[in-house]
Structure 1
């Protein structure tokens, strides 16, 4: 099996945000994250650590307006970097799922690197903010990653009451599902994991 480097680098500049993202799918979970939103940093770090995908994420956004653009654009750029790193997706597991317990909370995340973006969100928060991050933006972050990376992504809170635990459980579940899905399967060789011969479209 070819062991080509599976890395992605996206630089994205708009009037609202300036972003640099680098990923390595075959990393060790090393991260260097700075978005200007502390809780978002913490969640992206959790994603990197538990997916074993190295992530550099530097965002300079218009936080004097609100957190929406920074949240959305960081997710879009991360999805673009993941797509770039995956290339033609030859030999990957494609599917991944994980149950993610955190104290009283249990979530379930399932995904398919299908090239057909779709996000099902079945979770809710009982407070408006985690740290300074608006909790309504968490769903939007996942939807934006799914759209940009071409993921069919299902996220479900099975139960839980602590908002911090709920959010962290979903991010860790997403990370562990992605780890499984992007992993090379030696039995597949360089085959595209689809009877169509391609993923997406």
Structure 2
């Protein structure tokens, strides 16, 4: 089983994360931000990556540090669980519909973190969650895992649907990318013979 745990403590957050890449999509998430919990749970369920994420953060300041650090810790755990990335699918490309909204997520677990964001929200908050932090969460996890990640809202009007479509699309793309492909025979999916941020 490809599993990993990360404990990350700073003056801003205290985080414990566990992941199982070969899971069933079970989760135990508590960030202190209800909407963020809901989105990480969606990511777990639809990627089939089991996630435990417990955070005590400085929410008396704002939600920025907790949101950013949740993505960093989950991303670090996923990267650790993949190891040398031998046998993974590596790529994922998904169109994700959520009622009237349609999102596209394309990614490559390349070891070369790069983030393209073409989406926007028309309201500042979803519940108590600052919508500007959605983009930042995805940017942070792309950096932590080492993903080339492109995210685009093709159309849609409901902000909740847009956000959920992006998280579900990312989840489904990640499921394809991290799953082991038996045809690869355990080979690292690169002509370089290595996938990692040291191959930049």
Q: TM-score band, normalised by the shorter chain?
A: over 0.9
- TM-score w.r.t. the length of structure 1 is 0.97
Give the equivalent residue in structure 2 for 1:134.
130
Which of 175, 182, 194 is the aligned partner of 1:179?
A: 175
Which of 93, 99, 105 is the aligned partner of 2:101?
A: 105
Shift of 1:190: 1.3
Give the equivalent residue in structure 1 for 2:31.
35
Q: Is 1:67 the equivalent of 2:66?
A: no
The runs of 4+ residues in structure 1 deviating greater than 6 Å are: none
TM alignment of 1:129-168, pairs within 5 A:
129-168=125-164
SS at match of 1:187: helix
Distance 2:172 2:162 in 1: 16
Q: Is 1:52 the equivalent of 2:52?
A: no
Distance 2:4 2:170 in 1: 19
SS at match of 2:121: coil
Distance 1:25 1:148 in 2: 16
- For structure 1, the residue ranges without an aligned partner over 5 or more in a row are none
RMSD: 0.5
Shift of 1:137: 0.5
Shift of 1:55: 0.3
- For structure 2, the residue ranges without an aligned partner over 5 or more in a row are none
Distance 2:20 2:185 in 1: 20
Equivalenced residue count is 197
